[in-house]
Chains A and B, each alone.
Chain A
């Protein structure tokens, strides 16, 4: 429980030595192999890292070389990251579910001459990439399954390279220490490619200082110690995973647990019971949807109990968590609820032990946020960016609000530009966009301020409130503000709505595309005896329209009481015939809507929303997981919200 955040080590490899010296026998990594959790101590971890580093060096990996890393969260992939850093090289993790073409862009742009790929699937992509990127010198795989017949000239196993490294270390024992000593805090530690809400991905260059100083601040801020357990389940290419599963683990010396497979995350989480957790809002949303579906299927006693005690939790839960005064009666009821409902529920979610959980990446619906907090889970919002090594603002214990994202993080300066855009300056601010000085100059001012691209304001409490993307915030034709993301998030809180895209900039009224949540709607359909043949059919069902209409009407009711947003009430909507998908370019890999591409692709639908058409035909391209494409034809109905004026009459005139 010592404070490990004070340290002189200025790079990850140097910090690793410190970890081994002060707690070499403590757990560093855990992975489930053949159904049993296997632990690596920091000493084991260092052993793998050093062997692999030697192996890379023997293959000719030099200072400044890039190592592309493609795969799910695996201890050896994290080790490979550290190995590259030992040699003064730069790891470049890529999104593992990307198609080969997208990864090729990253490999090509970063000039990564070495690739570590997790398994056959990723090796196949790497081999495809190598045909075009002939500078790739070696492809190394972690999981040998299915790779037995691959040409050993082309691909190397991680273990084989470790073995070669071991021999190399015997021949030249002083080599690695020298290489590590050469490193300094200002060296580049990692290049992370942004998922690219706009245009091609940009490589964000972060130095060891950027990551380590920020991680030390973060660990201190929430008193994260070496006794912590976390679950590494988000893409390694994402800055959040880099900070929470790698940097902060190195800084605080805690144990990172890797799930068995992406399908087992829920069970693994239950088994591990992490006390430190990080997830974008959609994860929390999915969990809530799952809980709600299962509650609907439960017996009536359980259902009654659940709803009664959730009511108690709403009244008392968050207040107890924030140490505010709560009547003795409510406190006792909450205690009973903990015994009967909250405790078992948290256990099912794997959240019994959570001491601190963060959500970021997107605004979280207030109802969703309050749900978790009322259960007694210390969920906090933070606001961050890859360019800031995550942290810009963070909520401290006892100052958690659902509508704001907290005060400036330690060492971060905040200011709001005239157009409402949020700017910050901090030790975590990125060096540059790799090989893209124009973009760097556009985002980072000469005196170190970074433009976030988000519009927001600092309220009386000193907390930042983000409204929307600065460039997305528009005006309706009556001059009132139109904040699409705000509306979409309100819509997405409903379990039946998976994704929504709102339109209204420069228009007379607001409208929306809706994606139904198939899990929730299918379950609802089953309970209501509605038969359907597939996604398209259920999406166009008349009863589903009613279901969605109720959700939208609820959102409209909330909007109507807000003086700024009254005009943004949704008047017309379309339920889309297919799910918006990252493979079709409609979402980013982190599942954010790419507004411009959606607008281009579905231009005819948007035109139809602003005409008096009652239906519209659409032909859309879909990309399958193997990269092949097909097309989907549908005739979509356009629905008008009853009670609202359908066309061409600004609402303001009515009021």
Chain B
């Protein structure tokens, strides 16, 4: 991984804080994410990892500090705008339409790219049909990429959890994002499913050049695939750097193993 090339800074947090009532979820967080990088955010339960992701894609607004995305400084952004601007994500507890097929679920990821209006879509023939074909093609490429041909027409609710996670990744990819936010992509998976997922994350990063920010609890996964790791504890950043650096940081070890004060 040493010879990997990264581009410019695409996303940066500058002194970002957010609090819910009296609870400070994030306090003065600053970090940069470079183009084409895989960055992992780790930390004990309640450290603010998911909050950080939620701030990136606009679910929460920071109380203080600024976020710069693609050179544009912003303090407020809605999730919808984030999605339009190329930020896609998956969720800790799979959020798919269980009664719909894999294909249809991934198709929903194309939603923002559909141009024809409701009336044209209702009529179906003409431009809407051409558009549909175009989007189906994009979806099929994702299906091919993630090797889920065999479950193309299967209802997502009937799939094992590991595959549902893969479908969710597919839906995020269908939006052709520049930054992909993955919230615990390996949670609840067995070893083989984890290995598959790791391979797909690396493939996405490598083949499509997508920047990836992920939260993960499985340390071996984090250490294997991330270029850089950011460690949070109680809403504060306590360490960051390459996996090797973070692994040997005493503060991180204390945070994870506990320390007697």
Contact flags A262-285 to B (C-beta < 8 A → 1, else 0)? 011001000000000000000000
A148 at the interface (CB under 8 A from B): yes
Q: Is the CB of B150 within 8 A of A34?
A: no
Q: Which residue of A lies closest to B103 (CB)?
A: A35
Q: Is the CB of B143 within 8 A of A35?
A: yes
Q: Which residue of B lies closest to A262 (CB)?
A: B150
A286 at the interface (CB under 8 A from B): no
Q: What is the distance, in angstroms, from B18's C-beta to the closest C-beta of chain A?
A: 39
A261 at the interface (CB under 8 A from B): yes
Q: Which residue of B lies closest to A267 (CB)?
A: B150
Q: What is the distance, in angstroms, from A531's C-beta to the closest C-beta of chain B?
A: 18
Q: Is the CB of B149 within 8 A of A149?
A: no
Of B136, B145, B150, the residue contacting A264 (CB under 8 A) is B150
A145-B145, A261-B150 are contacts. A34–B137 as well, Cβ < 8 Å?
yes
Q: What is the distance, in angstroms, from A297's C-beta to the closest C-beta of chain B?
A: 13
Alpha-carbon separation in the docked complex, A34 to B137 (Å): 7
Q: Is the CB of B207 within 8 A of A260?
A: no
Of B143, B145, B153, B207, the residue contacting A148 (CB under 8 A) is B207
Contact flags A123-160 to B (C-beta < 8 A → 1, else 0)? 00000000000000000000001101100000000000
Q: Which residue of A lies closest to B145 (CB)?
A: A145
A35, A264, A267: residue with the most chain B Cβ atoms closer than 10 Å: A35
Q: What is the distance, in angstroms, from B2's C-beta to the closest C-beta of chain A?
A: 14
Q: Is the CB of B144 within 8 A of A263?
A: no
B184 at the interface (CB under 8 A from A): no
Q: Which residue of A lies closest to B203 (CB)?
A: A146
B135 at the interface (CB under 8 A from A): no
Residues of A within 8 A of B136 (CB): 35
Q: Is the CB of A34 within 8 A of B207?
A: no
- Chain B residues 150-169 with CB under 8 Å of chain A are 150, 152-153
Residues of B within 8 A of A35 (CB): 136, 140, 143, 149, 152
Of A34, A36, A149, A263, the residue contacting B206 (CB under 8 A) is A149
Alpha-carbon separation in the docked complex, A35 to B139 (Å): 10
* Interface of chain B: mostly helix, strand, loop or mixed: helix
Q: Is the CB of A263 within 8 A of B145?
A: no
Contact flags B113-154 to A (C-beta < 8 A → 1, else 0)? 000000000000000000000001100110111010110110
A263-B150, A264-B149, A267-B150 are contacts. A34–B203 as well, Cβ < 8 Å?
no
Residues of B within 8 A of A145 (CB): 145, 203, 207
Alpha-carbon separation in the docked complex, A88 to B210 (Å): 47
Q: What is the distance, in angstroms, from A495's C-beta to the closest C-beta of chain B?
A: 22
Q: What is the distance, in angstroms, from B198's C-beta to the closest C-beta of chain A?
A: 13
Alpha-carbon separation in the docked complex, A145 to B144 (Å): 10
Q: Is the CB of A148 within 8 A of B140?
A: no
A146-B207, A148-B207, A149-B206 are contacts. A34–B140 as well, Cβ < 8 Å?
yes
Q: Which residue of B lies closest to A625 (CB)?
A: B192
Residues of A within 8 A of B150 (CB): 260-261, 263-264, 267
Q: Is the CB of B145 within 8 A of A34?
A: no
Q: Is the CB of B147 within 8 A of A261?
A: yes
Alpha-carbon separation in the docked complex, A148 to B136 (Å): 25
- Chain A residues 229-274 with CB under 8 Å of chain B are 260-261, 263-264, 267
* Interface of chain A: mostly helix, strand, loop or mixed: loop
Residues of A within 8 A of B141 (CB): 34
Q: What is the distance, in angstroms, from B245's C-beta to the closest C-beta of chain A?
A: 26
Q: Is the CB of B149 within 8 A of A260?
A: yes
Q: Is the CB of A263 within 8 A of B149?
A: yes
Q: Which residue of B lies closest to A144 (CB)?
A: B207
Alpha-carbon separation in the docked complex, A148 to B137 (Å): 22
Residues of B within 8 A of A261 (CB): 147, 149-150
Residues of B within 8 A of A264 (CB): 149-150
Q: Which residue of A lies closest to B144 (CB)?
A: A34
Alpha-carbon separation in the docked complex, A32 to B150 (Å): 12
Q: Is the CB of B206 within 8 A of A148?
A: yes
Residues of B within 8 A of A36 (CB): 140
Alpha-carbon separation in the docked complex, A524 to B166 (Å): 29
Q: What is the distance, in angstroms, from A24's C-beta to the closest C-beta of chain B?
A: 29
Alpha-carbon separation in the docked complex, A148 to B143 (Å): 19
Alpha-carbon separation in the docked complex, A56 to B167 (Å): 40
Alpha-carbon separation in the docked complex, A57 to B14 (Å): 61
Contact flags B65-88 to A (C-beta < 8 A → 1, else 0)? 000000000000000000000000
- Chain A residues 578-600 with CB under 8 Å of chain B are none
Q: What is the distance, in angstroms, from A266's C-beta to the closest C-beta of chain B?
A: 9
Q: Which residue of A lies closest to B150 (CB)?
A: A263
Alpha-carbon separation in the docked complex, A555 to B147 (Å): 42
Residues of A within 8 A of B203 (CB): 145-146
Q: What is the distance, in angstroms, from B195's C-beta to the closest C-beta of chain A?
A: 9
Residues of B within 8 A of A263 (CB): 149-150
Alpha-carbon separation in the docked complex, A35 to B153 (Å): 11
Residues of A within 8 A of B147 (CB): 261
Residues of B within 8 A of A32 (CB): 149
Alpha-carbon separation in the docked complex, A459 to B115 (Å): 73
B141, B149, B152, B203: residue with the most chain A Cβ atoms closer than 10 Å: B149
- Chain A residues 207-231 with CB under 8 Å of chain B are none
The 8 closest A-B pairs by CB, nearest first: A34-B140, A263-B150, A35-B140, A264-B150, A260-B149, A264-B149, A261-B149, A34-B144
Return 13 A-B CB contacts under 8 Å, by A number: A34-B137, A34-B140, A35-B140, A35-B143, A35-B149, A36-B140, A145-B203, A146-B207, A148-B206, A149-B206, A261-B149, A267-B150, A267-B153
Give 7 A-B pairs besides A32-B149, A34-B137, A34-B144 with Cβ atoms closer than 8 angstroms. A34-B141, A35-B136, A35-B140, A36-B140, A145-B207, A146-B203, A261-B150
